[in-house]
């Protein structure tokens, strides 16, 4: 009984691989390494390849007796999705369809999907529950919702899945071995860390004129280790005859960009150098989670606060100025 982790050399994927192995699960990783890092996988079994390579995926299923899949393999930069939409539809949706077709042919019936709170767009109110209507505001979010819909329809064919709509993963592993390489990430926290540690980097806040208390976007930042544990819990749920569903994974606390900068400045003991730019197309205004369903159904709870998240990120970036290179 092996769990295949696609995109397992990526930031969240690598953390989840570790959490699965800590739970005594057999794991094999499939990653192109286009945006992942071999070093992040540490000593887990890594196969370099594409989820759209159906012959390769079939071989992996047979050789390792794959019974479940945790699917991370996707592009995830909001801005890039708006300028290169076809790239996102092909990679995030078309390739996933090929993966699912192969898995069904090999009777893999448990599937955990890395979805996103971005499917909600800007909800009418926060915290947002899973019952909130979905209104994706960028192509990245549209591709995530498309895969959710595909998985919902495949339940009739016996593929049980859970789509984890997680919020903003951040932070580094508690042992400082796995972090988010700022060279390959457009996420806020690594960009803030780079602004603090790389004098050549110009950090821009995308807009300060939103309808929020301080004018900057509000998000729910969740420690990546907490998020990794949620995937283990999701597999437990499916193995206990859980049916296809979607589930928010977040802390339930909204933090603005300005508030995050203040926490980072306190930890670094200096202000974060930055400029204010225009709004970025496709950015929702305010989104943070109601994680009641995850608490109840998955028996999962976030254990880290924002201070812990930023401290772990600052420690990792301070000791890994060149990432994994």
pLDDT score for 267: 98
Tell me the pLDDT band of 185, cut-offs 50, 70 and 90. confident
Q: Evaluate if residue 125 carries a pLDDT over 90.
A: no
pLDDT score for 124: 86
User: CA 86, CA 92: separation in Å to the nearest integer?
Assistant: 10
pLDDT: is 78 or 229 the higher one?
229
Tell me the pLDDT band of 170, cut-offs 50, 70 and 90. very high
User: CA 250, CA 166: separation in Å to the nearest integer?
Assistant: 6
pLDDT score for 298: 97
Q: Evaluate if residue 172 carries a pLDDT over 90.
A: yes
pLDDT score for 122: 86
Q: Evaluate if residue 325 carries a pLDDT over 80.
A: no
Give me the count of residues in the chain: 325
Instruction: Label residues 89-112 b or e (16+ Cβ within 10 Å = b).
Output: bebbbebbeebbebbeeeebbbbb
Q: In the chain, pLDDT over 70 holds for what percent of residues?
A: 100
User: CA 245, CA 162: separation in Å to the nearest integer?
Assistant: 5
Query: 149 and 280 in contact (C-beta within 8 Å)?
Result: no
User: CA 41, CA 8: separation in Å to the nearest integer?
Assistant: 7
User: CA 133, CA 39: separation in Å to the nearest integer?
Assistant: 39
pLDDT score for 284: 84
The H or E element spanning position 256 is strand 255-256
Per-residue pLDDT tens digits for 254-306? 999 999 999 999 999 999 999 999 998 878 889 899 999 999 999 999 999 99
Per-residue pLDDT tens digits for 74-120? 999 888 999 999 999 999 999 999 999 999 999 999 999 999 999 99
| Range 135-140 average pLDDT | 94
| pTM assigned to the model | 0.94
User: CA 305, CA 308: separation in Å to the nearest integer?
Assistant: 5
pLDDT score for 226: 97
| Range 14-25 average pLDDT | 97
User: CA 244, CA 159: separation in Å to the nearest integer?
Assistant: 8
| Mean pLDDT over each residue of the chain, to the nearest integer | 95
Q: At what angle do helices 306-319 and 188-197 cross, to 10 degrees?
A: 50
| Range 54-82 average pLDDT | 96
Domains located in the chain, CATH noted: 2-170+222-249 (3.40.50.720)
SS3 of 108, please?
Answer: coil
The H or E element spanning position 255 is strand 255-256
pLDDT score for 148: 98
pLDDT score for 126: 86
Other residues' Cβ atoms within 10 Å of the Cβ of residue 230 = 25
Q: Evaluate if residue 140 carries a pLDDT over 80.
A: yes
Q: Evaluate if residue 179 carries a pLDDT over 90.
A: yes
Establish whether 140 is a catalytic residue: yes
Q: Which two tokens stand for residue 66?
A: 């794959």
The H or E element spanning position 19 is helix 11-22
Where is average pLDDT lowest: 51-55, 74-78, 192-196?
74-78
Q: Which of 11, 88, 120, 140 is catalytic?
A: 140
Bridge partners of 245?
162
Residue spans of beta strands (DSSP E) within 59-209? 66-71, 110-116, 160-166, 168-170, 204-206
HSE of 307 in the Cβ direction (CA atoms, 13 Å)? 2
HSE of 21 in the Cβ direction (CA atoms, 13 Å)? 16
Phi-psi region of 141 (alpha: psi -120 to 50; beta: other; left: phi over 0): alpha
Other residues' Cβ atoms within 10 Å of the Cβ of residue 83 = 11
């Amino acid at each position: 009984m092996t769990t295949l982790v696609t995109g397992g050399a990526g930031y969240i994927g690598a953390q989840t691989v570790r959490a699965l192995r800590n739970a005594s699960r057999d794991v094999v990783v499939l990653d192109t390494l286009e945006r992942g890092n071999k070093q992040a996988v540490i000593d887990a079994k890594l196969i370099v390849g594409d989820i759209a390579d159906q012959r390769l995926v079939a071989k992996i299923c047979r050789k390792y007796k794959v019974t479940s899949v945790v699917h991370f393999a996707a592009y995830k930069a909001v801005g890039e999705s708006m300028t290169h939409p076809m790239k996102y539809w092909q990679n995030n949706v078309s390739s996933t369809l090929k993966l699912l077709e192969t898995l069904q042919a090999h009777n893999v019936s448990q599937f955990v999907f890395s979805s996103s709170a971005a499917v909600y767009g800007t909800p009418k109110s926060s915290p947002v529950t899973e019952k909130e209507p979905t209104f994706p505001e960028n192509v990245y979010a549209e591709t995530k919702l498309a895969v959710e819909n595909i998985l919902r329809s495949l339940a009739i064919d016996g593929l049980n899945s859970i789509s984890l709509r997680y919020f903003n993963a951040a932070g580094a592993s508690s042992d400082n071995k796995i972090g988010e390489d700022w060279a390959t990430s457009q996420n806020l926290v690594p960009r803030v860390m780079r602004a603090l540690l790389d004098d050549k980097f110009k950090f821009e806040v995308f807009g300060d004129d939103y309808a929020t208390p301080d004018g900057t976007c509000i998000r729910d930042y969740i420690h990546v280790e907490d998020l990794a544990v949620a995937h283990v819990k999701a597999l437990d749920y499916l193995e206990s005859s859980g049916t296809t569903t979607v589930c928010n994974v977040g802390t339930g606390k909204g933090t603005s960009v300005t508030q995050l900068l203040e926490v980072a400045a306190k930890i670094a003991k200096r202000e974060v150098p930055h400029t204010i730019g225009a709004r970025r197309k496709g950015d929702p205004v305010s989104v943070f989670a109601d994680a009641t369903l995850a608490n109840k159904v998955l028996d999962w709870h976030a254990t880290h606060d924002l201070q812990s998240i930023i401290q772990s990120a600052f420690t990792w970036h301070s000791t890994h100025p060149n990432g994994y290179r």
